[in-house]
Amino acid sequence: MKLALLVTLSATLVHGTCGNPVPARSSRPSIGQMRWLAGHWRTDSGDSTSEERWALARDGAMNGLGRTMRGRVATHHELLRIVERDGAVRYIAAPEGQRVTEFALIEARENYARFANEAHDFPKWIEYRREGDALIARVGGDASQRTATWTFRLVAEPPTARSLTATACAAPEDSARVELTLAPCSCGASLYCAELGGASVAAALIERQCDACESARGPCVAPVTAARLRGADGGCEPVTIDAIVSAE
């Protein structure tokens, strides 16, 4: 994972007296234990701003969007999702231009969660811990790899999650790419898209209220979706997008 991606992830270990870690008191992990993560979180470093926005989706999952901005230019973005599947809770990260990676929730208690994937190069584990309006993030790997920590501040309460209708069309010049177009009156939308588990999943971040009606467009690398659309004579079809709405 790129360093820019790491800024959008995880939390520090909880320590007891004398610097000794507090023993884990985990119950059976469930996605309901992650609702404290909801909100708009941000950290600034010089002219660079990194943020995550989390909201409870209509299907009961947690949808997240992470990005890094330098001024008004986005230098990195990714689609994040926490789902409950096959009796386990999984953190799914789909960074722009990189493969999708899953981490399993292995420890959870009030305002704390730890995810791990020992097969991944870096990070191998991700932790989140909330302390009031602060979200402390920590990521790391094995003994030979460094550990990094960041502190995000809550800048807005949980955004509203709703569904939008978009049109997906196969891009003739790219066998794995589809073009997504949001319906008019979706001003300020940024499209994030990745293919998770064989299903095309997209998310839209509406950053402000619209004063005019415009369409928002964005590319999506989604081989299964593109193949299906080409099978239908290269046509277009409506898709449902989970949107995180934050009018600021």
**Is pLDDT at 197 greater than 60 in this prediction?**
no
* Average pLDDT value for the chain: 78
Q: What is the pLDDT of residue 213?
A: 67
Residue 95 near residue 78 (C-beta atoms within 8 A): yes
pLDDT digits (tens, 9 = 90+) for 152-172: 999 988 777 777 888 888 888
Over residues 102-126, mean pLDDT: 94
For residue 27, name the pLDDT band (cuts at 50, 70, 90): low
Least confident of 38-52, 105-119, 205-219: 205-219
Over residues 45-62, mean pLDDT: 86
**Is pLDDT at 131 greater than 80 in this prediction?**
yes
Q: 3-156 — its CATH code?
A: 2.40.128.20
Over residues 100-113, mean pLDDT: 92
| Residues paired with 74 in a beta bridge | 69
Buried residues in 25-51 as b, exposed as e (16+ CB within 10 A): eeeebebebbebbbbbbbbeeeeeebb
Domain with CATH 2.40.128.20 in the chain: 3-156
Q: Say how far apart CA 115 and CA 108 lie, in whole Å.
A: 9
Q: Which two tokens stand for residue 73?
A: 């230019």
For residues 246 and 69, the model is more confident at 69
Sign of CA dihedral 155, 159, 164, 169: positive
For residue 7, name the pLDDT band (cuts at 50, 70, 90): very low
